[in-house]
Amino acid sequence: MKRIFTILFACMCVFGLKAQSVMVCNFDDEFPEVGSWGDVAVDYLDAPADSPASGQMGSVWVPKSNPSDGGVYFVMNNTIDPRDFVGISFLANGPITVSFILKLEQSGDPNGNNRIQDWNTWPKYTGNGEWQEVHIPFDIALKSLGEKLAVDPNFPATAYDKVVLVPGPYENLPEFTINIDDVKLRTSWDTDGIPLVKAASFIITSVNGTVSAKATNGAPATIKVYSISGQEIAEGLNQVQLGTKGVYIVKAAAGNANMVSKIIVK
């Protein structure tokens, strides 16, 4: 039986940039906060004895299609400079393939103006019921941070203390629960374990109501177009025609690679 909690949970946060990985949360020790928003809920469960997870783990329940773009967040005791890290990793176990969106935020910025995020890479859990280490690189987030620093050299780049994960947004997935543990900031990637899952590059354009997606490797690109509320309204191969002006979410896919972008049809 799933239990929906609005309380905050305690986790572990230890910093030391010389280490290859820096623990953000292991769901066992008392330091920073964990919580959820939207319709997503997080609970504590004991990790299975035969799993790579240890002690307790986070059990994240996600409603069908995750319509509110909800997720789970980790507020750390210490602030970080994302430029000190290559990305974040965590152990995951679930019944279906799930994509994740990453956001890095600052507690002192309640309006989210300083948020940096990755809506492009769409790294996935693909373990099909087995435990897998999911890697989310900071490449896209760091590009956004660089743009902010170019505009304002005094931008508070060292004040990030909140890691946000959004599971399965805009994917029309059924209701599911995914277990996670050992959320870590990474100063480098291990050569062992599950390889880093990267999406190939896509070029997404909108001209006169025609939305096109081109994979840089030349593979055919499946396009799905969603309204801002998350409702799927069109699907096609390489391009679709939209007759109504507005703002849309476009998801392009080719093989295991995915990319999501917001477009405006004028």
Query: pTM value?
Result: 0.65
Q: What is the pLDDT of residues 118-154, one digit of tens each?
A: 887 777 888 888 899 999 999 899 999 999 999 999 9
Q: CA–CA separation, 266 vs 262, rounded Å?
A: 13
Residue found by looking up tokens 């799905």 in the block: 224
Q: What pLDDT is stored for residue 214 in this prediction?
A: 78
Q: What is the pLDDT of residues 158-208, one digit of tens each?
A: 999 999 999 998 888 999 999 999 999 998 875 443 333 333 466 778 888
In three-state secondary structure terms, 25 is strand
Whether residue 30 contacts residue 10, with contact meaning beta carbons closer than 8 Å, is answered with: yes
- The helix/strand/coil state of 187 is coil
User: Which residue segments constitute the domains of the chain, with CATH numbers given?
Assistant: 9-186 (2.60.120.260), 202-265 (2.60.40.1930)
38: region left, alpha or beta (phi > 0 left; psi from -120 to 50 alpha): left
